[in-house]
Amino acid sequence: MTHALIVIDVQNDFCPGGALAVPDGDAVVAPINAMMGDFDVVILTQDWHPRGHSSFASAHAGKAPYDMLEMPYGPQVLWPDHCVRGTGGAAFHARLDTDAADLVIRKGFNRHIDSYSAFFENDRTTPTGLEGYLRTRGIARLTLAGLATDFCVNYSALDGARLGFDVRVQMDACRAIDLDGSLAAAVGAMRDAGVRLS
């Protein structure tokens, strides 16, 4: 049990028609499903926000989606309301093979701090519990896929590498938002951290 597939946030709100749709986001579903049988462990992450989450532009008077705001933990992009827990938008894409998952990690449920990474909230210190799960299962190698390449996949890959895991990102099973050059920046950061992109 040494190699895990971590599927990042393949949820309705990040797919076409969703509140924060990633261009071509649903195109990741088929390749991810096809990959699942090649791994010892499959883990899904799920954005799971309460209503009025601090990362929502609607929670800040006079702010619009994609504005930046300085939070106690650093700069934060303000997003459209998305992946509100218990809503259809927060649900996994209907064609994603969720039955193959050994574990589902929900993140972003703390109203006062966003959580891009599968490992830590955006303060980069509050853990989700994923590292402990991987360590106790003896998993050293990670392959990441899902949404979005330049935010949650990127943050998860960087944290995984920082924690000493062997990390690869399956780029053809990811899609990006690409907000003001964020995709190129993410690709550069992942390569610099030793993350393999394939």
By annotation, the residues acting in catalysis are 9, 107, 152
**Could you give the CA distance from residue 59 to residue 65 in angstroms, rounded to a whole number?**
11
C-alpha span between 191 and 171 (Å, rounded) = 13
Q: Tell me the residue type at 124.
A: R
Token pair, residue 184, equals 């190129």
